[in-house]
Amino acid sequence: MASHWGPFLIDSDGGSVRGVHPHPADPDPSPISGGLAAVTRCRVGRPAIRRSWLEGGPGTATERRGAEPFVEVGWGEALDRVAAELARVRDDLGTDAIYGGSYGWGSSGRFHDPTTQTARFLRLFGGCTVSRGTYSGAAAEVVVPHVLGLTYHEAVAAQTSWSRIAAHTELLVSFGGLRLSNTDVTYGGQGPHLTRTWLGRAAERGMRMVGVAPVDDDLPAGLARRWFPIRPGTDVALMCGLIHTLVTEGRADLTFLRRWCVGWERLWAYLAGSGGEPPRSAEWAASVTGVGAGEIRALARDMAAHRTLVNLTLSIQRADHGEQTWWMGIALAAVLGQIGLPGGGIAFPFGAAGNVGAGQTREPVPGLPVPLLPPGPVIPVARVADMLEHPGQGFHADGGYDLYPDVRLVYWTGGNVFHHHQDLNRLARVWQRPETIVVHEPFWTATARRADIVLPVTTPLERDDLGGAETMLVAMVQAIEPVGEARHDHDVFASLAHRLGFGPAFTEGRTAGEWVRHLYDRYRQANPAAPAFDEFWAAGSVAHPVAPMGGTDQVFLERFRADPEAHPLRTPSGRIELWSATIDGYGYPDCAGHPRWYEPFERLGGAGADRWPLHLVSNQPRWRLHSQYDHGPPSQAAKVAGREPVRINPVDAAARGIATGDVVRLHNERGACLAGAVVSGAVAPGVVELATGAWYDPGPDGTCRHGNPNVLTRDKGTSQLAQGPSAQTCLVEVTRFDGEPPPVQAFDPPELIGR
């Protein structure tokens, strides 16, 4: 079986999972797979329709979403009602009024990926409003093409191989740490986990690491490492201080800045303090970051004296003005002058996904064909609540200006918006506006509970598919029978397409099983040495030819460095753009033509800290993928007092009378949640860490009883350039909860009424 967190073997009795075992080819398997033991729990057993919607029609009592019973109906009635509602909205209001809200991660299978299935269906239907970008990397995805002339995904694929890092890097400075648990996962399918092995080889040769992060164990243990416990959200200020030191001490590579970059003079004028700006010196940076000026200067000298790789993680750009972190980080690497050298320069996002730098080349595996998107509205992915709340309002994004559509029907598959969106209490309010919400879901998640029509669908364990990892193609052989009345997303859409008059166009005359064979045959056409389908299916996988340990030997921007005239970047200048005339031309007050420090809307030592004295870091959990299988054994074992664990520094805990095991309340002006306290020196003073993904469980006053941090985060775009999420900019207070805490009800199904 293949998954986003790696290949594994399933032991089942046809009705349940008896065991999950590591794949023989994986030297460092992820523990996340243990959650699959809960695949039959919390399931949506039959199609279900919210009672008021069923009795009164679209738009009835939408404020009751999440609070009233569902009526279980047969598949025929459910599909008839969904098809009729899609046709009504399209014919009366237009396809712009339909939002296709599928969002990744539902399956690593090449055929049964819910996002692809949904896109194919809705595009053949006539189109819909869609989103662009990801919650993970929205700011980076927009700024990288402007600065480096590569799409974000092109740049990630071209990153320097671990083989070169292990051989050449002397100092790895990682902004945001380098969290090994994040490397368990790769979108679309992770192959054998090799990051820990490569780090070990680099350490054996003497590579040192510096982690600039508010959490110490975001750096791997057992290496030569140093922790810089920076105030969250101030990475740009530290980068400014490092650059200022390098230049004023004569350690900057001015030749590289003049030949391979444009705009250095403008950037330096800002850093030096012209135009009324203060000099962005080490002393200034210390006042913002909490890192000592002497430490900043010493780090700058260390970086200049060694082959240094500057790594930027995704966490630092999921913050207010997150675009600036990656832009200024590229500028820092340019000032060092090592971009394009083996083991030096700029890297991203090591420590955010498992395939980065592993030198593994993903073998193209065909997926379900998706027609071109018909003309229609496209919104930044993190602006869903804005769209629902402000139809007709204008918004800026990457030089464009558009109006939010008037969405009346939301069709959601493959994701849990009440996990990954910010300010969930606000989302719950605006979620009342659409007339109809249709959700495909295996489990009774918070999103399913807040739908009008819930269609039960299978998990990857309940169907055959192809899994494309970097080093192998995996036969995803069905392990258990579909639970309850669950159907494949493809079969659901095929039935709807038949009712709406385009069934043959959607299925092309193939069943789901026939599509899997067809896609493998297409793969074989490009890979003649691959065995016939039946042989592949019996073997369970086929390996792609790769270099030792899966390593290719590449250096990011090596050809550009060797000859920038012969191999220019696809930027307007052909160079690294430390000044972008394009971005400057947009005239955004929150994103100028060169990287710079902008005060975030709140931070430690800045705005809001007098009222909310702790900074919340909401990172990815070690014990599950996002919110998937939160009800499974690994995630449940990590709970404290039945709630998501929150780590707090001993100094902050003592000041509040908090001990490990206490139930605590995190709160700010946006919301509140309960969590289980863990006192730990691994988080910096003034910082608390609460991972994302606890299933949203609001009580009567909106307090999440289970510990979802997104009741606390603000739903604001990073800037008008990318409009990405700014979840990591979040101040809170934490107090011990006295008395009997309310029970967690996140995994209880809604009241179900039969007919």
pLDDT for 549 equals 42
pLDDT at 754: 84
What amino acid is encoded at 46 in this protein?
R
Residue tagged active-site, from 103, 268, 284, 523: 103
* Average pLDDT of the chain to the nearest whole number: 95
Q: Write out pLDDT tens, residues 403-449.
A: 999 999 999 999 899 999 999 999 999 999 999 999 999 999 999 99
Query: What pLDDT was estimated at residue 692?
Result: 97
Query: What tens digit of pLDDT does each residue of 516-559 get?
Result: 999 999 999 988 889 999 999 999 988 875 544 444 689 999 99
- Percent of the chain whose pLDDT exceeds 70: 98
- Asked whether residue 222 carries a pLDDT value surpassing 90, the answer given is no
Determine if the peptide bond prior to 371 is cis (ω within 30°): no
Q: Give ranges for CATH 3.40.228.10 in the chain.
A: 138-361+553-586
Mean pLDDT of 349-365: 73
pLDDT in tens, 369-402: 999 888 899 999 999 999 999 999 999 999 999 9
Which pLDDT score is estimated for 516? Answer: 97
Domain with CATH 3.40.50.740 in the chain: 44-128+372-466+477-534
Contacts of the segment 480-483: beta carbons below 8 A, 24+ positions apart? 480/12, 480/14, 480/15, 480/16, 480/17, 480/39, 480/40, 481/14, 481/15, 482/458, 483/39, 483/40, 483/43, 483/45, 483/442, 483/456, 483/458, 483/459
Q: In the predicted model, is pLDDT for residue 137 greater than 80?
A: yes
Mean pLDDT of 147-158: 94
Please indicate whether residue 105 is annotated as part of the active site: yes
Average pLDDT over every residue of 132-147: 97
Cα angle 281, 147, 245 (rounded to 5 degrees) comes to: 15
Residue 359 pLDDT: 53
Angstrom distance (rounded) from CA 475 to CA 537: 6
Please check whether residue 222 is in contact with residue 243, taking contact to mean a CB–CB distance below 8 angstroms.
no
Assigned CATH topology for domain 44-128+372-466+477-534: Rossmann fold (3.40.50)
pLDDT the model gives residue 102: 83
CA angle 648, 651, 654 (to 5 degrees): 90
Render pLDDT for 241-297 as a digit per residue (tens, 0 to 9): 999 999 999 999 999 999 999 999 999 999 999 888 899 999 999 999 999 999 999
| pLDDT for the residue 548 | 44
pLDDT 10s digits, 677-714: 999 999 999 999 999 999 999 999 999 999 999 999 99
| Active-site position among 105, 264, 612, 629 | 105
**Is pLDDT at 355 greater than 80 in this prediction?**
no
CATH code for the structural domain at 614-736: 2.40.40.20
The pLDDT assigned to 550 comes to 43
Residues 533 and 517: their CA atoms lie apart, in Å, by: 7
CA distance 744 to 623: 19
- List for the chain the helix, strand, coil content (%; round to 5): 35, 20, 50
> In CATH, what is the architecture of 138-361+553-586?
3-Layer(aba) Sandwich (3.40)
